[in-house]
Amino acid sequence: MDSDVIVVGAGLAGLTAAAELVRLGKTVTLLDQEGEQSLGGQAFWSFGGLFLVDSPEQRRMGVKDSHDLAWQDWLGTAGFDRPEDEWPRKWAEAYVDFASGEKRAWLHAMGVRFFPVVGWAERGGYTAEGHGNSVPRFHITWGTGPGVVEPFARRVRRAAEDGRLQLKFRHRVDGLTVTDGVVTGVSGTLLSPDESARGVSTNREALGEFSLGAEAVVVTSGGIGGNFDLVREAWPERLGKAPKRLISGVPAHVDGRMLGIAESAGASLINRDRMWHYTEGIENWDPIWPHHGIRILPGPSSLWLDATGKRLPAPLFPGFDTLGTLEHIMTTGHEYTWFVLTQKILEKEFALSGSEQNPDLTGKNVKLLLKRVLPGAPGPVEAFKKHGADFAVAATLPELVAKMNSITGENLLDFATVKTAVEARDAEMSNKFTKDLQVTALRGARNYRGDKLIRVATPHRLLDPKAGPLIGVRLNLLTRKTLGGLHTDLDGRVLRPDGEPLPGLFAAGEAAGFGGGGMHGYRSLEGTFLGGCLFSGRQAARGVAK
C-alpha cells in the first residue's frame, strides 16, 4: 500500500475527506488531474453560499426558521419518487439535521464567518408544500468560495508537511484496481506539468503511467458540467429536447470521467437525468475557461420575457424556480430569454455568481463592500453592462428592442408584444392593489429587512425616465451541477447495482450527487452544493475510518 486511503479529486469534498481522514489517524494520498493551482476545484469559483437553518444571522435579520420547516421545504423541492431514492432521502434528512445543528458551529470553529444579510434564493411561488425556501437561508461566506476552501486546504497542506498526506497533482486516474471484488487502488496517466492559471484548460500530454494501492479509495471528482456531450446525453425528456447551445459555469476539467470509470468497476450510478442548470447565464466578456458563463443572481423585479417578447408565466419570476423556468423555456422553441429592467433595478438587484465577480466579499474588503449601499452598480456588474455581449442599453423602449434584436440577429422580439407586457406591468404600479403576482412578490419581498436594504429595488415603472436607462439582457442556459451520481449509503460506501456495498470504494461531493446518489432529488434549495460537499466528504471519511 502507498497509503491507507486514496482520495481522487482535490475539490472541496476531497479536501474535506482528506483532512478528516488525517484527523482520524489515516495516511492519505490525494490525487488530482489538475495542478496545485486548482486546489479547491469548483468551490474556489463559487459565491460561497451555504444553507443554514435557524442561524444567528437569520435571527438577527428577523427570520424565524426551524428544522421542521426546512425539512418540509426540502421534501417539497426534492420530489423523491423513485425506489432508488431511499438512500438519497436518508442523506437529505441527515443533511438538514446537519444544517440546522452543528454545521455552523463546526465551520465557525475553523474561522469561517458569514455576511450578516441572509439571501433568499429559490423562493418557489407555489403552495407551502411545494418547491422553494419558505424563508431566507442563503448565507454568503465572508471570503466567498475561497473562504470556504481555505481552512480545509490549510489542514491538507499541513498534513503534507507532516508526512501524513501525499499531494499528487497532474495524476489522471484512468481505472480502479479491483482485486477479488474489492477496490484496492487506482491506475492512470501522469500528465505533463502545466502552469496555466487556475481554471484555464491544461494540456493532456502523457509523461507516463502510475499505479497506487490502498485499503480504500474515495471518489470526489465532481460532476459533468464541463462536458456538454455528457450533459446532452443525460438530458431528461421532461425538460424537452437537449439544448444545442450552452455556456459553461465550470472549467473544462469538470468532465465526469470518474463516474464512468467507477461504473465500469461495478459501481451503481443513479439519477443521472437529474441536473441543475441555470437559466440566467451571460457570456463572460473576459473568459477564463471555454464557453465561460456567469450566472446573474437576480432580485425579483426584472420583467422576464421569452425570445419572442412574451412574458414568462407565474410564478416563473427571477429567483423563484430555476428548474421550472428551464422546463418552460424548452417548450418555447428557443433556448434563450430576456430580462427587461432599469438602471435602478440593475444597481440594487443584480449580483453575479462567482468569487472573482465579488472582489469586496472575496477580498474581505469592508470599504469596498460599503459601496454596495451607495448609488451605482457594483464594478463587475457595470463592466458586464459595458462589455458583455448579452447587454443592450437604451433611453427608449423602441430603441431597446431594436438593440436586443441586434444581439441575436434573429429579430424575434416583436415591439408591440414587448410594449404591451411593459405597459401592463407598469400600470400595476399606480396603486397599492394588483392582480400581478410578480408585483405582489416584489412588494412582499421588501417586508424582509435584508431584501429592502440591499436586494430589492423600490417598486417603480420600467418606463419611468428617472429610473433609466432601460436595459435588456439576453439570458443563456448555463451548465452547473450534477444532482445524481454514485449510489452511496450514509457511510459514503459506494453500492453495486444489487444494493450491496462495493468493498473498498467510497464517494462524496458532486460525484455522489452530494450524498446517496442524489440527496437533492429533482431540485435544489441553493446553498446546498458546497454544504453537500462538506457533509458528504466528512461522512465518507468517517465511513472509511469505521
Segment 114-120 mean pLDDT: 96
The answer to whether residue 371 scores a pLDDT higher than 90 is no
Q: How confident is the model at residue 30, as a pLDDT?
A: 98
DSSP codes, 273-300: T-EEEEEEEEE-SS-SSTTBEEEEE--S
The C-alpha cell that represents 243 in the structure block: 439544448
Confidence class of residue 21 from pLDDT cuts 50, 70 and 90?
very high
How large is the average pLDDT for residues 213-230? 97
Kindly give the residue spans of alpha helices, DSSP state H, lying in 409-528: 415-427, 437-445, 449-454
Count of alpha carbons within 13 angstroms of residue 83, beta-carbon side:
3
Does residue 431 carry a pLDDT above 90?
Answer: no
Q: What is the pLDDT of residues 252-266, one digit of tens each?
A: 999 999 999 999 999
Omega of the bond prior to 251 within 30 degrees of 0, cis? no
> Identity (one letter) of the amino acid at 325?
T
Q: Which residues contact 61 (CB under 8 A, 6 or more apart)?
A: 116, 117, 118, 136, 448, 449, 450
What pLDDT sits at residue 53?
Answer: 98
Q: Comparing 46-55, 287-296, 357-366, 411-420, which segment has the lowest mean pLDDT?
A: 357-366
Q: 83: buried, middle or exposed (CB in 10 Å: 19+, 13-18, 0-12)?
A: exposed
501 beta partners: 495
Please give the pLDDT value at position 375.
Answer: 79
Residue with cell string 457511510 = 491
- The percent of residues above 90 in pLDDT, for the chain, comes to 96
The average pLDDT across 91-102 equals 98
Q: What average pLDDT does range 125-154 have in this prediction?
A: 97
Which three three-digit cell numbers place residue 275?
441536473
For the residues 391-411, what does the mean pLDDT come to?
Answer: 98
Helix, strand, coil abundance in the chain, percent, nearest 5: 35, 20, 40
Among the residues of 190-304, which ranges form H helices?
A: 228-234, 257-264
Q: DSSP string spanning 497-525?
A: TTSSEEEEEEE-GGGBTTTTTTTTTT---
Whether residue 127 has pLDDT greater than 80: yes
Q: What distances in angstroms separate CA 103 from CA 12, 59, 64, one per listed residue?
A: 15, 16, 18
pLDDT for res 373: 73
Residues 501-538 have pLDDT tens digits of 999 999 999 999 999 999 999 999 999 999 999 999 99
- d(C-alpha 307, C-alpha 288), whole Å: 28
Mean pLDDT in the chain?
A: 97
The pLDDT confidence band at residue 438, using thresholds 50, 70 and 90, is very high
Which amino acid is located at 461 in the chain?
R
376 has a pLDDT exceeding 90? no
Only one residue has cell 475527506, namely 17
- Which percentage of the chain shows pLDDT scores above 70? 100
| pLDDT tens digits along 147-204 | 999 999 999 999 999 999 999 999 999 999 999 999 999 999 999 999 999 999 999 9
Polymer length in residues for the chain: 546
Reply yes or no on whether the pLDDT at 206 is more than 80. yes
Rg (CA), the chain: 23
Yes or no: say if 156 and 29 are a contact pair by the CB < 8 Å rule: no
Question: For 271, phi and psi rounded to 5 degrees?
Answer: 55, 35
Question: Which domains, from first to last, does the chain contain?
Answer: 3-221+483-545 (3.50.50.60), 277-478 (3.90.700.10)
Q: What is the largest CA-CA distance in the chain?
A: 75
Q: Rounded mean pLDDT of 53-71?
A: 98
Decide: helix, strand or coil at residue 169. strand
Residue 1: pLDDT band (50, 70, 90) is confident
DSSP string spanning 15-51?
A: HHHHHHHHHTT--EEEEESS-GGGTBGGGGGS--EEE
What is the per-residue pLDDT across 464-494, written as a single tens digit (0 to 9) for each?
999 999 999 999 999 999 999 999 999 999 9
- Taking 80 as the threshold, does the pLDDT of residue 374 lie above it? no
pLDDT of residue 168: 98
152 neighbors 19 (Cβ within 8 angstroms): yes
- Is the separation of the CB atoms in 411 and 405 below 8 Å? yes
> What mean pLDDT comes out for the span 375-404?
95
Per-residue confidence (pLDDT) for residue 200, from 0 to 100? 97
pLDDT over threshold 90, residue 367: no
By the 8 A CB rule, do 94 and 46 touch?
no
What is the model's pLDDT at position 513? 98
**For residue 70, how far is the Cα from the chain centroid?**
19
Which of 540, 536, 472, 535 minimizes the C-alpha distance to 104?
535
Residue 516 DSSP one-character state: T
> What is the spatial distance between Cα 54 and Cα 68, in angstroms, rounded to a whole number?
11
